[in-house]
Amino acid sequence: MIDFRYHLVSLVAVFIALAVGIALGAGPLREGLSATLESEVSQLREERLDLRAQVDAASRRAEAKDEAIEGLAAAALPGTLDGVRVAVVTLPGADRNALGELEDRLESAGADLVLTAELAERAGDEEPSPELGELLTALSAELADPPTGDGSGPSLATVLAATLSGADEVGHAGAWLRAADALEQEGVVDLTWRDGSSVEISDRRPADVLVLETGGLTAQETTETAGAEQLGLRLELVRSLAELQTPLVVAGTGAETVHDVDDTPVDPLVTAVRQDRDLADSVSTVDNLDSVAGQVATAMASAWALAEQVGHYGVGELSGSALPPVPPQREVPTSTIPAPGDTGLPTVDDGSATTAAP
């Protein structure tokens, strides 16, 4: 049985240990611990200042690079897209600031921005509604849309590609405009015509070149089932446009943005196009549209796409160079609507019909 003396000895031992701890903490150990902490804090402060200096230097270098590219663009871009009809296609989540700056670059190159097509969120649904499926079947009958990869009936990607390319079936001139109106009424795409509505425009030819902004889908999202399906549908649209031999530039953002260590900075659609051997040979890509260099590269790549010259530009993986070579100046015909052969682009026999798909 534990007696009173045991308790007394235990209490005395506790108080002695407490007293010793206080004495040491206030004496030699305190001085050593304090010195160690002060040294570590001083080191962390120096590292922070060094990192700040590195960031400031990197910012100055980036600003200098942008100024240099601005100067190059001002001298090189004008005239490279004179008389070229350009349509900008945006996928859900597109960077609107980057798009506005890109449009300025295209216009400075002389492009005529005839159409902006903004795809709705529902365009990413893997299975279209029955109503939309019936509409796609009806529209496909008048369009030269490419076959789907799995051999099934027309998909939103194939019909939309034919619509954006102006690929009418023989004997159905203007079907792409009717399809555009029908898809907009269905809520799949929002169209902005620069010359009014599709009924009011006088020049009813499709765009000569398309710029596709890849939207806000991230590489991390594509590791999940829903994101992977969305990427597959977007890639099907690009593949359909390529099969129709539509001059196309796929432009994404993020390659020059600071990311988490585990994140992939290059847009997943841009990466998918570059990794597909057939698409990489027929579709140009840009991975840094949110930078001055990326916007200039997109405008230049659009000019080269008309000459069937393909490249991959930016700073991310599988990019060939930061910028394309400077495109040559284009000769602008004197007539309002170019005659066939004047611009080197495939055109139609009159201003009201459209070309059939290859």
The model's pLDDT over 167-177, given as tens digits with 9 standing for 90+, comes to: 999 999 999 99
- The model's pTM is 0.76
Residue 108 is predicted with a pLDDT of: 94
Look at residue 257 and tell me if it is in a domain.
yes
Q: Are residues 153 and 14 in the same domain?
A: no
Task: Provide the pLDDT for residue 351.
Answer: 41
| Secondary structure letter of residue 198 according to DSSP | T
Asked whether the predicted pLDDT for residue 336 surpasses 60, the reply is no
Whether 156 and 140 have beta carbons less than 8 Å apart is answered as no
Q: Two tokens at 265?
A: 């900075």
Is the CB of residue 236 less than 8 Å from the CB of residue 128? no
Q: What pLDDT, on a 0 to 100 scale, did the predictor assign at position 258?
A: 53
Q: Which of 27-31, 193-197, 198-202 is the most confident on average?
A: 193-197
> Are 46 and 98 part of one and the same domain?
no
For the cut 60, the answer to whether the pLDDT of residue 355 exceeds it is no
- Integer-rounded Cα radius of gyration of the chain: 30
pLDDT level of residue 356 (50, 70, 90 thresholds): very low
Task: Compute the distance between CA of residue 27 and CA of residue 30 in angstroms, rounded to an integer.
Answer: 6
Residue 159 lies in a domain: yes
Asked if the structure places residue 43 within a domain, the reply is: yes
Query: Between residues 256 and 243, which one has the greater pLDDT?
Result: 243
State the total domains in the chain.
2
For residue 3, is pLDDT > 90?
Answer: no
12: containing domain = 4-59
Look at residue 344 in the predicted model and tell me its pLDDT.
45
For 81, the token pair is 């897209």
- The reply to whether 44 and 85 lie within a common domain is no
Domain presence at residue 331: no
Please compute the mean of the pLDDT values over residues 30-45 and round it to a whole number: 74
Q: Are 81 and 219 members of one domain?
A: yes
Residue whose tokens read 């530009």: 313
Same domain, 149 and 52: no
DSSP state letter for 347: -
User: Does residue 158 share a domain with residue 298?
Assistant: yes
In sequence order, what are the residues at sequence separation of 6 or more whose Cβ sits closer than 8 angstroms to the Cβ of residue 234?
A: 91, 124, 214, 215, 217, 269
Which tens digits make up the pLDDT trace of 287-333? 999 999 999 999 999 999 999 999 999 999 999 999 999 999 987 66
Task: Specify whether the CB–CB gap between 104 and 112 falls below 8 A.
Answer: no
Does residue 241 fall inside a structural domain? Answer: yes
Residues with Cβ within 8 Å of 285's Cβ and at least 6 positions away in sequence, in order, are 249, 250, 251, 252, 270, 273, 274, 312, 313, 314, 319
Judgement on whether residues 159 and 49 belong to the same structural domain of the protein? no
Strands 189-193 and 209-213: unpaired
Q: Is residue 218 part of a domain?
A: yes
Residue 349 lies in a domain: no
Question: Does 318 reside within a domain?
Answer: no
* Cβ density class 76-113: b for 16+ within 10 Å, e for less: bbebbbbbbbbbbbbbbebbeebbebbbebbebbbbbb
66 contact partners, CB below 8 Å, separation of at least 6: 291, 292, 293
pLDDT at 275 over 80: yes
pLDDT at 358: 37
Q: Are residues 202 and 262 in the same domain?
A: yes
- Residue 192 sits in a domain of what CATH number? 3.40.50.2300
Q: What is the pLDDT of residue 349?
A: 39
- 53 and 81: one domain? no
pLDDT in tens, 49-89: 888 887 777 677 777 777 778 888 889 999 999 999 999 99
* CB contact at 8 A, 355 and 345: no
Measuring CA to CA, how many Å separate 125 from each of 132, 217, 234?
A: 11, 14, 11
Same domain (yes/no): 106, 33: no
Please identify which residue in the block is written with the tokens 């902006």.
116
92 and 144 inside one domain:
yes
Verify that 165 and 240 share a domain, yes or no: yes
* CB 247 within 8 Å of CB 207: no
